[in-house]
Amino acid sequence: MTKPLLAISGLTKAYPGVVANDDVSFEIGEAEVHALLGENGAGKSTLVKMIYGLVKPDSGSMLWQGSAFAPSDPKTARASGVAMVFQHFSLFEALNVAENVALGMENPPPMRDLARRIREVSETYGLPLDPDRTVGDLSAGERQRVEIIRCLLQDPKLLIMDEPTSVLTPQEVEILFETLNKLKAAGTSILYISHKLEEIRKLCDHATILRLGKNVGECVPAETSARDMAELMVGDTLQTPTRSAEKAGEVVLDVADLSLTPSNPFGTSLKNITFDVRAGEILGLGGVAGNGQDELLAALSGEARTPENTLKVNGQSIGKFGPNRRRELGILAAPEERLGHAAAPDMSLTENALLTGRIRENLTSNGFVKWAGATSFAENIIKAFDVRTPGPHVAARALSGGNLQKFVIGREVLQRPTVLIVNQPTWGVDAAAAAAIRQSLMDLAAEGAAIVVISQDLDELMEISDRFGALNEGRLSDIRAAAGLTIDEIGLMMGGAHGMEVAQVQDDAAQGASA
């Protein structure tokens, strides 16, 4: 271990009914990349919020370069040299890059000088940015660059990064890792939070593992398998999803030349989308966020109407049908945004189960709600998907993100869909919960459902998909068999390359192997 930059000793933070951090101690060395690992609810977010001055600990202490450190707010933390890139971007889409960067600075310089500094720093660290571009026109990867450059302009000694690669292509991940290694070489320490354990093994020098708010161990990631780290996180043997090899049936969902203009001015237009999904098949659709995923789910679920004959299920045109009519036909969907889209925040779990399960679970009669049936349905979801909650009476907003995700996915899976479309099925959930959700999707496919999984997690898509395609600027790549696809091929598909370019990568790889 190098000399400690930050030493954390006995930090404890409790909220009503839960101890978020329980006597946590560890050190971050100077010029070190340190991973912070843990399942949902392990206390990672609370811990970094205490370091960044957003939360005050109940007890314990921190030392910054040997001196007492207790930031009262983020401004104080930043003044000491702590910067943080949050998982969800805090950018104004109608403003340009320089204006967004200025909003995050205490005393921004004149805009011309700031634009020059953005260019200098972005080029130095291999993250090129045009300070005059409007943020609404940037890709998700470019938006993350804005957040990182905003932090780097503070010349931080410690950079905290929360799930930084969740919106990046494989090539962009490589660029980010090069940047982080340059920062490390220049003396900056990095506290890195991620569920992607192979990335942790590649990038990080040390790792601290939290479970139920406690520090349960540390390891050197390069010397520890991803599975061993996952089992340290959950405190149990990790179950690997499995699926019986069965031949896909007839085409169930047929999408032909689908084009759609979004209602959101910063949305992405769908352009000539064409694919099909067979009974018993999982089609995985990858892509960096903001390339048409939300718009495609809206078109398939019925939230957005589509032209006649662009969408068919079992040969029947469904483009003019709304969500309820499609549910009657067995076409169900689970959107990415949990609170406000997939679930009504202030409604109970019973009420949220009723909202989408009313038709297929027969939860109404002559205009009256069968509350006993709705409650029973919610209880079944809670039990089958291990949703950690006191009961179905609890409001959706009271659940952790991971537990609400399990509830939302379970609600749709238990309705026995003919077609299921899910966007980011394991977003923000821990390794054990992610494995359980993936297993439920594979089991559903084995029972004959046609499933479309939209995800930014390429490992997830390669694990469960039969075929794979990538969305880029509202266009869909050629659909390929998932087995045998390389990361380079996937990255090209996500970047907008099509048949000939991807085939060239395959040829180059084959020639390299023969040589």
Residues 179 and 212 placed together within one structural domain of the fold = yes
In the prediction, which pLDDT does 336 show? 86
Query: How far apart, in whole angstroms, are the C-alpha atoms of residue 378 and residue 389?
Result: 11
Is 380 strand, coil or helix?
helix
Taking a C-beta distance cutoff of 8 angstroms, is the pair 244, 250 a contact?
Answer: no
Q: Which residues of the chain have pLDDT under 70?
A: 1-2, 88, 140, 166-167, 169, 244-245, 428, 497-515
pLDDT at position 500 is: 45
Rg of the chain on CA atoms, in Å: 24
Q: Quick count: other Cβ atoms within 10 Å of Cβ 318?
A: 23
Q: What local confidence, expressed as pLDDT, does residue 79 receive?
A: 93
Helix (H, G, I), strand (E, B) or coil at 316: strand
Residue 98: give the domain boundaries: 4-234
d(CA 346, CA 395): 5
Residues 266 and 206 in one domain: no
Q: Which among 197, 245, 168 has a CA at the least distance from the CA of 37?
A: 197
- Let me know whether 427 and 487 are in one domain: yes
Whether 495 contacts 291, CB under 8 Å: no
Q: Are residues 192 and 103 in the same domain?
A: yes
Between CA 223 and CA 219 the distance in angstroms is: 8
Helices 487-494 and 499-514, packing angle to 10 deg? 160
Q: What is the 3-state secondary structure (H, E, C) of 189-228?
A: EEEEECCCHHHHHHHCCEEEEEECCEEEEEECHHHCCHHH
Q: What is the number of structural domains in the chain?
A: 3
Which of 392, 416, 440 terminates a domain? The answer is 416
pLDDT value of position 512: 54
For the record, the structure tokens of 448 come out as 């004959």
Listed in sequence order, the residues at least 6 apart from 312 whose beta carbon sits closer than 8 Å to its beta carbon are 253, 254, 256, 318
Shared domain check, 173 and 281:
no
- pLDDT value at residue 99: 95
Asked if residue 451 and residue 477 are part of one domain, the reply reads: yes
Which pLDDT score, from 0 to 100, does residue 27 have?
A: 96
3-class SS of residue 450: strand
Same domain, 477 and 343: no
* C-beta pairs of 458-461 under 8 Å, 24+ apart in sequence: 458/170, 458/286, 458/487, 458/490, 459/196, 459/198, 460/284, 460/425, 460/426, 460/434, 461/284, 461/285, 461/286
Task: Name the pTM for this structure.
Answer: 0.71
Same domain, 385 and 347: yes
Q: CATH number, domain at 78?
A: 3.40.50.300
Which among 348, 383, 416 is the end of a domain?
416
DSSP states of 28-96 as a string? EETT-EEEEEE-TTSSHHHHHHHHTTSS--SEEEEEETTEE---SSHHHHHHHTEEEE-SS----TTSB
Does 344 share its domain with 325?
no
Asked whether residue 277 falls in the same domain as residue 346, the answer is: no
Q: What is the 3-state secondary structure (H, E, C) of 249-293?
A: CCEEEEEEEEEECCCCCCCCCEEEEEEEEECCCEEEEECCCCCCH
Q: Which amino acid is at 389?
A: T
Q: 234, 254, 279 — which closes off a domain? A: 234
pLDDT for 5: 96
Nearest to 270 by CA among 282, 279, 252, 257: 257
Structure tokens at 331: 């076409």
How high is the pLDDT of residue 245? 65
Partners of residue 29 on adjacent β-strands: 4
353 in the same domain as 279: no
Tokens representing residue 443 in the block: 């089991």
Question: 209 with 274, same domain?
Answer: no
53 by Cβ neighbours in 10 Å (0-12 / 13-18 / 19+) ranks as buried
The reported pLDDT for the residue numbered 363 is: 96
